[in-house]
Amino acid sequence: LQHQRLATASNIQEFSFKKKRVRILSKVIDVREGCRGGVVYWMSRDGRIQDNWALLFAQRLALKLDLPLAVVFCLVPKFLNATLRHYKFMLGGLKEVEKECRDLNIGFHLLLGPAREELPKFVRDNDIGAVICDFAPLRVPRQWVEDVTKGLPKDVPFTQVDAHNIVPLWVASDKQEYAARTIRNKINSKLGEYLTEFPVVAKHPHGKSSAKINWTSAYEMLECDKSVDEVEWAQPGYNAACRQLYEFCTRRLGKFHNQRNNPTADALSGLSPWLHFGQISAQRCVLEVKRYAKQHKASTEAFCEETIVRRELADNFCYYNENYDSLKGVTSWAYQSLDAHRKDPRDPCYKLEDLETARTYDDLWNSAQLQLVKEGKMHGFLRMYWGKKILEWTESPEQALEWTILLNDKYSLDGRDPNGYVGCMWSIGGIHDTAWKERPIFGKVRYMNYQGCKRKFDVNAFVARYGGK
């Protein structure tokens, strides 16, 4: 999957940029005359060089104005409840970014502290002429962007590029969508325009390479939970992500369409950690999978549904619903029926440590929890069952949601991601789902049980593998 195409500066300029991928955040749009410091891409969600529309836009601007180009990442010591498992994965990817920037004559700066403090200072100290940032729909990254918009010098243009979605979020829909079926056509009808190949990020004609980063001091400033260690199976970075994608295409894609809900079949892409940290682009994954569309038509369609429609639906939900991680964010039919069953007895009613240490009566549930803790990811089908059992076994739906999000964000490599919030809200609060026959505790939220799992896959095999007896 390496980029064989010749990286020439010209193919960026002739490449017509989809205007609607970009939105202007500042009052000014022109770089002031005589500024020599260059253009900065403030990297956050999309931690990669190639296939990154935000960086491509920044390079195109720098080339047009004959200015240097630099990537800046602002490292915060604590990000929600991210642990060392997450930071090691993220920083591992950034080390590759640093090396690739050096090869491409692009500056790379790791600033230690929140962007609102570090970025305006960097811009002033280095006479930067323009800043481009990427896009995340969650409240903390959106606050960072808002703070930087206010903090930048007034004569520095600041633009945002959705480098994560194939159809930019604000192009797909301008409101909260209620199910995949209401957003699917809004997205698929625009793929002709947006699902294009990428130009390559070219070797920049001039500019100075940056000082080598002191990664040790970066680790030392972290204040995260260091008890959750890294996982073996997933190596961070763009190159590892490309290998993971290639293996999926050549070994697992064929069984994806009819075995993706079977936790004992190795049929999934396993790309979510790299997608979460932006170390590979969803668009790159779709472009590569579609090369196999002839021999694996059903699987390719199923993969596109998940990677394009479902993922963009998750960003849509988090962006347009400020209560994306609370029961206040579920639809009224779900809230009312969960509320009506609030007093139903929960037996058993587990404490957080019973769940976290996989000590319930349910061997399948325990095995799913052990998989999450050990491998940093839980099979997608099991995550639905896992979440719904937590609703059944905790004192209130609010408590259930809080603990599913807490456990998912603490152990899953792709935690703190719109997909994770939507997954938990689907399981507990039925978002993007329909109402089902009313029953205790669940109300009209879809119920899932052990027997249902036994009908779908070999539960004993999964339990044997993860030892959740």
Smallest distance, ligand FO1 to C-beta of residue 170, A? 16
Residue number with CB closer to ligand FO1 (140 or 298)? 140
Residue number with CB closer to ligand FO1 (69 or 76)? 76
Residue number with CB closer to ligand FO1 (25 or 65)? 25
Smallest distance, ligand FO1 to C-beta of residue 215, A? 13
Residue number with CB closer to ligand FO1 (37 or 141)? 141
Which of 201, 234, 259, 171 lies closest to 457, judged by CA?
259
Residue number with CB closer to ligand FO1 (45 or 252)? 45
Residue 2 structure tokens: 């390496």
Smallest distance, ligand FO1 to C-beta of residue 333, A? 29
β-strands 158-161, 22-24 pairing: antiparallel
Residue number with CB closer to ligand FO1 (86 or 432)? 86
Residue number with CB closer to ligand FO1 (84 or 287)? 84
Residue number with CB closer to ligand FO1 (224 or 463)? 224
Cβ atoms of 393 and 441 closer than 8 Å: no
Residue number with CB closer to ligand FO1 (136 or 453)? 136
Cβ atoms of 346 and 394 closer than 8 Å: yes
Q: Which residue has the tokens 């808002």?
A: 146
Residue number with CB closer to ligand FO1 (31 or 280)? 280
Alpha helices in 104-138 (DSSP H): 115-125
**Angle, in degrees to the nearest 10, between helices 397-411 and 363-375:** 40
Say whether the peptide bond before residue 168 is cis (omega within 30 degrees of 0): no
| Residues 376, 20: Cα–Cα separation, whole Å | 36
Smallest distance, ligand FO1 to C-beta of residue 47, A? 7
Which of 160, 176, 178 lies closest to 168, judged by CA?
160
What are the DSSP calls for 336-356, one per residue?
A: HHHHHTTTS--SS---HHHHH
Positions in the binding site for ligand FO1 (CB under 6 A): 44-45, 74-76, 79, 82, 86-87, 90, 136, 138, 141, 415-417
Smallest distance, ligand FO1 to C-beta of residue 359, A? 27
| Residues 382, 379: Cα–Cα separation, whole Å | 5
Cβ atoms of 70 and 108 closer than 8 Å: yes
Structure letter (DSSP) for residue 252 = I
Smallest distance, ligand FO1 to C-beta of residue 138, A? 5
Smallest distance, ligand FO1 to C-beta of residue 111, A? 10
Which region, left, alpha or beta, applies to residue 45 given φ > 0 means left and ψ of -120 to 50 means alpha?
alpha
Which region, left, alpha or beta, applies to residue 372 given φ > 0 means left and ψ of -120 to 50 means alpha?
alpha
Collapsing DSSP to helix, strand or coil, 77 comes out as coil
Which of 449, 239, 267, 279 lies closest to 365, judged by CA?
449
Smallest distance, ligand FO1 to C-beta of residue 115, A? 7
Smallest distance, ligand FO1 to C-beta of residue 77, A? 8
Residue number with CB closer to ligand FO1 (94 or 391)? 94
Which of 99, 103, 37, 43 lies closest to 75, judged by CA?
43
Residue number with CB closer to ligand FO1 (277 or 462)? 277
Smallest distance, ligand FO1 to C-beta of residue 418, A? 7
367 half-sphere exposure, CB direction, 13 A CA radius:
20
Smallest distance, ligand FO1 to C-beta of residue 409, A? 8
Distances (CA, A) of 378 to 240, 270, 469: 20, 10, 17
Cβ atoms of 138 and 11 closer than 8 Å: no
Smallest distance, ligand FO1 to C-beta of residue 75, A? 4
